Amino acid sequence: MAFQSDQNGTDQIYLAQTLNPKGTRQLTGKGGTEAVWASDGTELFFRNGNDLLALKIDTESGKPQGVPEVLFSMEFVRQKSLGAYKPSKSGDKFLILKEVPGSKANKINFVFNWPEELKKKVK
């Protein structure tokens, strides 16, 4: 399990074994937020400011392989309740939320079962 904590004074990314919580290790030293696993569980993505980084994780031991590498840098949306990015299933593309200057939008509405809603409105 990967998580973000500011227990040491700044946001950092940690890795914890679910069966052994005492086996928690800090993965970052220069800061990290919004940890997201790749779909195959072999890579952990996270942000540090405008940088999106990746760190390979050994699936057997749970240990990091090497050091985090910056994949790219760009301005991400600043919103606490919603993640600013989502990796594709293959992990080679990312959906990124960006700030739009002058935008007044502050929420996203999801409409479930929209065909039924549309039928009701057309009647």
**21 or 34: whose pLDDT is higher?**
34
- Domain that residue 28 falls in: 2-122
Mean pLDDT of the chain: 86
Tell me the pTM: 0.76
DSSP string, 48-91: ETTEEEEEEE-TTT--EEEEEEEEEE-PPP--SSS-SEEE-TTS
Query: Is it the case that residue 27 has pLDDT exceeding 80?
Result: yes
Give the Cα-Cα-Cα angle 40, 46, 52 (nearest 5 degrees). 110
| pLDDT tens string 35-93 | 999 999 899 999 998 999 999 999 888 889 999 999 999 988 876 666 888 999 988 89
Provide the domain count of the chain. Answer: 1
